[in-house]
A = this chain, B = another copy of it.
Amino acid sequence: MTRSQLIALIKERKSFLCVGLDTDLTKIPAKFLETEDPIFEFNKAIIDATADYCVAYKPNLAFYECHGAKGWESLEKTIAYIGDTHFTIADAKRGDIGNTSSYYAKTFFEVLGCDSVTIAPYMGKDSVEPFLKFDGKWAILLALTSNEGAVDFQFQSIAPGSERLYEKVLKLSQSWGNTGNLMYVVGATRPEMLSSIRQIIPDHFLLVPGVGAQGGSLTEVCKYGLTPDVGLLINASRSIIYAGAQESNFETHVEKAAAELQSEMAQILTERGIC
């Protein structure tokens, strides 16, 4: 999916919501456990309940790999079921020497058919570039993550001066790709930093995890991160997919949780005159 197609989709649905498919067999409603492929059947129900309210789905690879080959089959079926009506993000946090990264790019873009994959920047330019060579496909580079450990390295100041590592990542990587094939992960748990981040990358899309279960605020993120082209994909996982997991009509709770976030987003887009 190209940048212009993604922006058109966001404006059409008045939503920049990404639903995270962190599908955990210990948390999904019991009725799915009786099916042949509980992960896929649960995802299918989630997708059916939320498709009108979101523009992207983000399966977290760890939750599929932990079931081995069977988990990969569930993932393949999920990506195929989503089809081309939504932007798909393989949240895989890959990154290796160039030759190896080429195989990861092939895996996620050609074999699985995802639109994008999350990448860890530690190994530098040649570990990221293979992901930037596919038309309409995206690398989503980790910049500032939403977890506690982000302070360990990402916040370290790079000498000389006081530029932080995540700022160095943002600056240096811009020359590797462009606003049509490179996004960044910036956690919602640190919205106040979005203001300075937008000075470095005014136009790139940001994938923002951490709204919902991790405590990030949609309003705060939009205040600092929204651009005239929207420029944000806000991810919510647990707060949507496990809404009402203990209830018999769990799909209604899931739909409600997604619809509420979409409604807030529509209001923000209107207030900002974007659509």
Binding site for B on A (CB under 8 A): 22, 60, 62-63, 65-73, 76, 91, 93-98, 100-101, 103-104, 106-107, 111-112, 120-128, 142, 145-154, 156-162, 165, 168-169, 172
Contacts and interface: CB of A to CB of B under 8 A. Distances in A.
A165 B154 CA distance: 10
B68 A70 contact: no
Interface centre among A148, A153, A157 (most CB of B within 10 A): A153
A142 B123 contact: yes
B127 A153 contact: no
Contact of A97 (B95, B107, B147): B147
Copies of this protein in the assembly total 2
Which 5 A-B pairs give the minimum distances between C-beta atoms? A124-B149, A124-B152, A62-B103, A159-B159, A69-B72
Contact of A124 (B91, B128, B153): B153
Contacts of A153: 121-122, 124, 165, 168-169, 172
Contacts of A151: 124
A127 B150 CA distance: 9
A164 to B, nearest CB: 10
Given A76-B68, A96-B62, A162 B165 contact: no
Contact of A69 (B76, B94, B146): B76
B156 A168 contact: yes
Given A124-B153, A159-B162, 4 more contacts: A67-B111, A69-B73, A124-B147, A125-B152
A220 B95 CA distance: 27
Contacts of A152: 121, 124-125, 172
A192 to B, nearest CB: 20
A261 B97 CA distance: 23
Contacts of A169: 153
A124 B149 CA distance: 4
A147 B126 contact: yes
A232 to B, nearest CB: 20
Given A124-B152, A124-B154, A172-B152, A66 B111 contact: yes
A149 B66 CA distance: 30
A150 B72 CA distance: 31
B165 A149 contact: no
A104 to B, nearest CB: 5
Contacts of A121: 122, 152-153
A121 B72 CA distance: 25
Contact of A107 (B65, B91, B95, B126): B65
Nearest to A60: B100
Nearest to A145: B123
